[in-house]
Structure 1
């Protein structure tokens, strides 16, 4: 397979490094997440589910801007709404009606939303949720599960904790998804000190439920499951339950995972798919808790920015009217099923599995035999996909723009990658020797975490 021309990408990267630390604004958009030497470093254009880099190479994109592009790049309906608002003005001296319009849409679709306030990033929403819980409960400690953004209370628990006061790490306590016993231990150890449990309601697998503890949606028991147990523990211990739905909101269901599973949290955090890539986020929740935002500081110039709100209004309406969620599951199911069939054909089941829900599945890479470095395996697969015009970083963020033709072409690319991997493994060869670029690296690691997370799939 012929290597792609990345001359302009590499030239720009050298220029960027002189004035931009790390060379990118987001860790998972930089060289650590993509194999340096075979992957583009700068994209110039996106349309639908396809992107073009600065060297003119075209790719089918499964990263989709780190998952917010639920409709696709340059969606005409979102663009129309944004352009219309730009002509009217973006940020005003007092409030704008769009704030009410979007808040009404959130209240309409999200079970736990009786009110809403807006930010720009997912981390804005998760951080004000924690501050709000602390203000309401008069407690400082919290328990968390998943990735929640760049602010002190979370980042203090990672190896990128420079500049974060030590006390932040001491107040935040991690527990693994689907492990209610560990959460019980946290509540016991910090009795009457936990302000909230903030968690992603879905990681890769779903919540364990029923007698056998299945994580499959088809076996889900609404009365007996992990999320029900978490909510019960919170209520018993006087802590708030916060769902971080930055990833799950408007993707797994228009009402988020809380609607999907029938579990209503006290507060919810939304961003990404709610506005198809135009920056805006929201915190939602019960009136009795949201009223505290009148006296808990959450205020900044762009909190009511109308460009993001116009995009959110157009996006949410299109998700509903065009049955976007159904398309995500159909297209994602075809991709997931096809990948797992190929993994079986090439006898790679002990190394690979396409896991998770079809709307956002993940390639699980396992240690096997002498191949004990999943990032090396990822780098090979990524390399082979790049050469076949597929932009990939281990997860599959399906959009409304991914059609059957895109899925078919991508499956052909995956087959070629799996075929090469199988040949290497069968001959007991080195994967590293087959890499034409540098291997992917860990974005960050958790310090005080039960979960063995190598990279952040959100940031």
Structure 2
């Protein structure tokens, strides 16, 4: 392992001090701030990006696996998306009445998404999840909801975390968390709040996908198309008169052009989209079956930028490119090389009990487990992040693969991971403290769940 110099982040630190005086937390997004990246070794401000590479304000260059919190499916400054956006800017961005682009993009969603008989547009993923929950309450005339995963900054979700200041307490009394791939945890909610649950809103994939339980067996095994966790959730919803909402903000247009619902052939009543559908230009959407989506005519979901043409132009260009260039096949192939390589390195450096690359190749996650005296996964993460940063890789535990990541980027990244794993192996072998090898401050969780399962959750979405 060759010696690597600490990167210089002088300009980043100067800007950060300036930002703290006028911007609370110093960042607009929690997971882009100093909690998610080791303060003292990581850049705090990026200046530009192209493809899968970024440059910070000090001139340091990185291969990026965060990709702006995952929306950059094609990569930074994609030429086709940029061209579409620039063309639309010359025509106008927001109009006094509707624009044909609203129809064009809605038609693309209807074409590719199984549940989509119609669509309405917002700007953030939380816009879509908020109206989906409101719509389900309007349809069912019920107030309680069951949820699984992260769904945005709105009251009913954040009310269940330790960042719940300013949120009336009744919100977290109406929202109930269940565990992914644990159908009994959802059954208990339906039993406790009989005829009160308006909807189940969930991410169809968290890290790994749904698992199956054979009929008459108590043992779980690998996924079965006709009998799995998602099909069980759908049956429970139907039985109890609740709507099923898939939050496809992360999975949509990344795992499959029609989302995880198409991938697993489990069709929800409503679904929410954002991120990859417009390659980083703000846009979100809610889609659903006609009998449910029609309720949007009487359920208020309206704002000035709801039909903003910049996001719609970007989405039209992005979805067309995904379709024509076999983008998703590329994500799986390149991401598969990275995942396989990381797990091989973990094996040869005797770290398998501590770290593993899990999930789907298009968006994998490094799971970090407690091991021996090393009981703080965030400390382990901070060391790996530090060593990768020094070797030109911007990383925050997940790998948001883009169409711009090529084999050369994967090879360079695996070399960086190997150096990081070598260092971690040496520390563990000699029973040393990881903290002693950290130059900056350790990473922290963005928020902690305080309701139901008391799960500690670091937001990788916002």
Q: TM-score higher than 0.5 here?
A: yes
Partner of 2:444: 441
SS of the equivalent of 1:178 reads coil
Task: Report 1:60-79 matches (<5 A).
Answer: 60-79=63-82
1:354-365 to structure 2, matched below 5 A, reads 354-365=357-368
Q: Is residue 50 of structure 2 the alignment partner of residue 43 of structure 1? A: no
Residue 213 of structure 1: which of 214, 217, 220 is its match?
220
Question: Which residue of the partner structure matches residue 261 of structure 2?
Answer: 258
Alignment match, 1:93: 96
Distance 1:135 1:160 in 2: 28
What is the aligned counterpart of 2:58 among 44, 55, 58? 55
Name 1:107's counterpart in structure 2. 110
The separation in 1 between residues aligned to 2:209 and 2:269, in whole angstroms, is 20
Partner of 1:11: 14
C-alpha deviations, 1:116-144, integer Å up to 9, x for none? Answer: 00000000000000000000000000000
| Deviation, structure 1 residue 451 | 6.2
- Alpha-carbon spacing, 1:59–1:277, altered in 2? closer, same or farther (3 Å): same
**Match runs of 1:35-434 below 5 Å:** 35-211=38-214, 213-214=220-221, 219-434=222-437
The Cα of 1:52 is off from its aligned counterpart by 0.2
Structure 1 residue 379, shift from structure 2 partner: 0.1
Tell me the CA shift for residue 210 of structure 1. 4.8
1:103 and 1:88 map into 2 onto residues whose CA distance is: 20
Structure 1 residue 38, shift from structure 2 partner: 0.4
Distance 2:153 2:392 in 1: 32
Look up the SS of the partner of 1:342 in the other structure.
helix
- How far the C-alpha of 1:450 sits from its partner, in A, is 1.9
SS at match of 2:287: strand
Residue in structure 2 matched with residue 457 of structure 1 by the alignment: 460
Q: Is the 1:122–1:149 Cα contact (8 Å) retained in structure 2?
A: yes
Secondary structure of the residue aligned to 2:457 is coil
Measured in 2, the distance between the counterparts of 1:440 and 1:454 equals 13
Determine the C-alpha separation between the residues in 1 that align with 2:449 and 2:295: 32
1:55 is displaced (CA, Å) by: 0.2
Instruction: Give the secondary structure class of the aligned counterpart of 2:444.
Output: coil
Large movers: runs of 4+ above 3 Å: none
Q: Secondary structure at the match of 1:17?
A: helix
TM-score, reference length from structure 1? 0.98
Q: Cα RMSD (Å) of the superposition?
A: 0.7
- C-alpha separation in 2, matches of 1:69 and 1:449: 33
Is the contact made by 1:250 and 1:273 (CA closer than 8 Å) also made in structure 2? Answer: yes
TM-fit CA distance, 1:221: 1.4
* Number of residue equivalences: 455
TM-score norm. by structure 2 comes to 0.98
Q: CA deviation at 1:222?
A: 1.5
CA offset digits 1:247-288 (Å, max 9, x no partner) = 000000000000000000000000000000000000000010
Q: Is the 8 A contact 1:176 1:451 kept in 2?
A: no
Where in structure 1 are there 5+ consecutive unaligned residues? none
